[in-house]
Amino acid sequence: MTRGKFVVLEGGEGAGKSVQMGRIREILPHGVFTRDPGGVETGEDIRRMVLSKEARGIDAATEILLFLAARAQLIAELIAPALESGKLVVCDRFILSTIAYQAYGRKKLEYLPLVKSVFEAIHHGCVPDLTIFLEVSPEVGLARARARLEAPNRFDEEEVAFHERVREGYKKHLNDYGKSAVVNADNDIEQVWQDVREALQSAL
């Protein structure tokens, strides 16, 4: 059986990933849609832990290892089997988020080799065929994130400088794992969707 395609949406807070995931689901309803961390029971448990305000004091190394553990389970339990069965998988965040947020955002570049080596050990061939980076300026993204109805997560509350470092991390490593496309997410939703759809059509 032909292996399925693997698409990842990446971006900072307020980039509009959830909106674009919904649009993709409308045109590709037979795909498998998931998120990292999350997607499976263990991953969702870790997600609640690391995104909660109670986790503010968590050590940087612990945070990284929790994200890596969630990803390992997501790959083993959902992504790898879906791709092997020929399905399209679309994931909200993946390896680049850990590089951008935990290594660059947290100013822990010494952990980059750890992040990359663990990913090599756990990915089982599940490297994205396409990563769409929704690039949003931190000021615009944070304003959107803080205006959302749901309670902000602890990354929404980080200073602008943190999110500048996150964007730097994304841009430096965007081509480390498969093909990528950059979409200006400062634009309105319809323009962003048009650009996302064009990127998808070129890859699928």
Binding-site sequence positions for ATP = 11-18
| Contacts for 19 with CB less than 8 Å, ≥ 6 apart | 189, 193
Amino acid residing at 26: E
Pull the structure tokens for residue 193.
Answer: 């969707």
Residues in CB range of 68: below 8 A, 6 or more apart: 98, 115, 118, 119, 122
* Euclidean distance between CA atoms 202 and 204, whole angstroms: 6
Which amino acids are annotated as binding site, given as ranges? Answer: 11-18
Contacts of 45 (CB under 8 A, 6+ apart): none
7: nearest Cα among 100, 149, 131: 131
